[in-house]
Structure 1
């Protein structure tokens, strides 16, 4: 504890300065409490928590700073969640030092070199130090029922391309992936960052999971089946990352060099036919298995738009399956239409 307190005192009050930065001319902090912060899993000391209480009940706000044993800092405006060591001092104070209105805790955490993840912070203007990264198209999942992910391989590819572009276009900046509010949005953002680490950086699923241990299990949510009923199983982030790692190992999918294909998958073709407007057909095992929605017996034409969804004829799917190299079809559900 003595070494941690000494480390905290040697921060030259930068932690307090960042908290009070927006209060210049109207200081509200009237009390400071210092307490050790321990890991819930191991019970080991992980830092010193400085609790700053505001001066008026109307403010009803307490700021937290956590000084980690390694000298990193965290700012958190949620009293119910222990803060985590995050970015170095300058970046952390610029990103997190702002008043926000949200139900969840605010954080920004560097998970790999020059790449951070943040949630519940206001959109900030990109500078020569860091970039606000909000890849809406790649992070959007089109649900069937109450499902919310995981993202398709085409979405993963789009995310990797966008993040590569950010990192190469702004080599002196840290890129901050700003997740939307909610556990599901954070889960999808974490999944995409983990997918980047596995496919682009070629890390293993275990190492990726370790880089997100600071989040805690309650911060994310297991993926579920495409229904509105109570799910009887959950697909965890670790499950998905292990699948990607295995797919990379056997050559099904990999992050390509310029102009090359993503392993055995044609990502553009996958995105096209995976769209519900183009057939909702997906390559499950490259060169071996394709899954698609059962066709309808339509009066005329290849497709029909009715009841808020698009249905396709058997003739339409015959052309799609021929293009995908399918030679045999197995029908699972009963005939439709």
Structure 2
């Protein structure tokens, strides 16, 4: 499994894998099980004993049991850890290089997927791997839907394009590129958490989009004031 599904880390983070790779794993495993002769559906999946690789592999298996197998998160984790015979994997951490003070467990990941399905926030059957991968590319905006159709996250644009690949000519997007893209996606309001010098907000307002600045230091936690302002804006927009 190690070479097929690789996590692209930022700093000291190591997983879990994003939705497109997770769903691709589930599709592949489901297909192999369906192709196996009746009564002979035993597949052997293996990874290295590196703690990061092991954590990602166990997480993929637990999510598969929740999504495809219909198991509860608790039972799925119990199954992949063989009823406690296997030690739990490393907890996942945030994408920073500092000391981590809060970890995401295997059970947290399984519960998150189960909650997303039960609240119709996410659907395994309708999820588009191609669309996710397209929007996930830096030259297409580095965009992720947090709440489908309502809340989207993206890399804040800079005043100048950054060349990503000289051979293909791929570059990052400017604010005006995002403005056109957001209008096609139904976005009506943009909230900037970066410094106000990163780009000219008029690129969005001239395109008819509402623009709000709530800056706080990158890598830190927002103040309570910024947090509640963000929540109010979201409540007004939903």
What TM-score, normalized by structure 1, do the two folds share? 0.52
CA distance in 2, matches of 1:325, 1:135: 38
**Structure 2: runs of 5+ lacking an equivalent:** 200-238
3-state SS of 2:163 partner: strand
CA distance in 2, matches of 1:191, 1:250: 21
Structure ranking higher in strand proportion: 1
CA contact (8 A) 1:198 1:208 kept: yes
Q: 23, 28, 35: which one pairs with 1:162?
A: 28
What TM-score, normalized by structure 2, do the two folds share? 0.72
> 1:277 Cα shift?
4.0
3-state SS of 2:145 partner: strand
CA contact (8 A) 2:140 2:172 kept: no
The match for 1:90 is: none
Q: 236, 255, 276: which one pairs with 2:138?
A: 276
**In the TM superposition, what are the counterparts of 1:308-327 in structure 2 within 5 Å?**
311-327=172-188
More contact order relative to length (CA 8 Å, sep ≥ 6):
2
Residues 187-243 of structure 1: CA deviation (Å, up to 9, x unaligned): 1011111111111112111111221232213xx111111111111211111111111
3-state SS of 1:195 partner: helix
CA contact (8 A) 2:163 2:171 kept: yes
CA contact (8 A) 2:62 2:76 kept: yes
Residues 57-92 of structure 1: CA deviation (Å, up to 9, x unaligned): xxxxxxxxxxxxxxxxxxxxxxxxxxxxxxxxxxxx
CA distance in 1, matches of 2:2, 2:137: 19
Q: 85, 90, 107: which one pairs with 1:238?
A: 107
Deviation beyond 3 Å, 4+ runs, structure 1: 134-137
CA distance in 2, matches of 1:185, 1:215: 15
The match for 1:151 is: 17
**In the TM superposition, what are the counterparts of 1:186-205 in structure 2 within 5 Å?**
186-205=54-73
Q: 1:188 to 1:290 in 2, by over 3 A?
A: same
Q: 1:322 to 1:177 in 2, by over 3 A?
A: farther
Q: 1:295 to 1:202 in 2, by over 3 A?
A: same
The match for 2:78 is: 210
CA distance in 2, matches of 1:214, 1:317: 50
Structure ranking higher in helix proportion: 2
